[in-house]
């Protein structure tokens, strides 16, 4: 929690500075696609402050499926070995909170930026599909796949397009979640890697 507290403190400090300097406070709504084993949507919101070419924000959102490719491949192998009649579905949704530090061009209608951040993700593995009356959790030994909260880190880049007091962000970011779950049959997932493209609509005050 230390990283988030430091980012949150920095964000609050910047918001306070807005009352005495030329800082801007902004609200954003984000949406996009995450890619791990497959593609899935995500949604989020953020509150931040900007002073010149530095912007800090706190973001919270929901990723609907970031199942690691290695775990999905192993599950499919196990299904073939068990001779199950259909391919089961496994998902890994996650709720997350993070702090972002963004370096952004200070002027012009189109402003490139780079960003980095850290936070936490609440992972909720879902492997409890039943096929032909058989619990996959029993067959594959999935009882170790429990809900858990793990740290994450992210980095990315993009473009901001200003439209009056509003703006549009178009960006890419890479996330790594330091997860620790797996199958009792032996496969462990030490990290979950996620690529994401997104758009964000924001308004500045």
- Please give, one letter per residue, the 3-state secondary structure of 106-172: CCCCEEEEEEEEEEEEEECCECCCEECCEEHHHHHCCCCCCCEEEEEEEEEEEEEEEECCEEEEEEE
Q: Which domain holds residue 182?
A: 2-204
Q: Count H helices, E strands: the chain?
A: 3, 12
Helix (H) or strand (E) holding 186: none
Domain count, the chain: 1
Which of 6-15, 46-55, 63-72, 84-93 is predicted least confidently? 6-15
- Provide CB contacts within 8 A for 138, sequence distance 6+: none
61-65, 74-78, 129-133, 198-202: least confident range: 129-133
| 8 Å CB contact between 46 and 28 | yes
Mean pLDDT of the chain: 81
Q: What is the pLDDT of residue 90?
A: 73
Confidence (pLDDT) at 126:
76
User: Is 110 strand, coil or helix?
Assistant: strand
Q: Residue 126 is part of a domain; what is its CATH number?
A: 2.40.160.20
**182: pLDDT confidence band, cut at 50, 70 and 90?**
low
* CA dist., res. 102 & res. 187, Å (int): 36
The pLDDT tens digits of the residues spanning 123-170 come to 988 765 555 555 555 555 554 457 889 999 999 999 999 998 999 999
pLDDT at 136: 56
The model's confidence at residue 3, banded by pLDDT at 50, 70 and 90, is very low
């Amino acid at each position: 929690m230390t990283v988030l507290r430091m980012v949150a403190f920095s964000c609050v400090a910047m918001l306070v500075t807005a009352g005495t300097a030329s800082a801007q406070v902004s609200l954003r709504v984000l949406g996009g696609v995450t890619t791990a084993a497959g593609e899935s949507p995500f949604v989020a919101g953020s509150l931040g402050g900007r002073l010149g070419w530095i912007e800090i924000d706190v973001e919270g959102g929901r990723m609907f499926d970031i199942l690691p490719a290695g775990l999905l491949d192993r599950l499919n192998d196990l299904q073939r070995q068990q001779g199950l009649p259909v391919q089961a579905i496994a998902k890994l949704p996650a709720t997350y909170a993070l702090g972002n530090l963004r370096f952004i061009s200070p002027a012009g209608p189109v402003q490139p930026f780079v960003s980095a951040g850290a936070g936490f993700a609440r992972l909720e593995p879902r492997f409890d599909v039943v096929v032909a009356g058989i619990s996959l959790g029993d067959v594959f030994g999935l009882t170790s796949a429990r809900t858990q909260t793990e740290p994450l880190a992210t980095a990315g880049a993009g473009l901001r397009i200003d439209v009056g007091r509003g703006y549009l962000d178009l960006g890419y970011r890479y996330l790594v979640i330091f997860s620790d779950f797996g199958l009792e049959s032996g496969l462990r997932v030490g990290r979950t890697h996620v690529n994401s493209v997104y758009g964000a609509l924001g308004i500045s005050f």
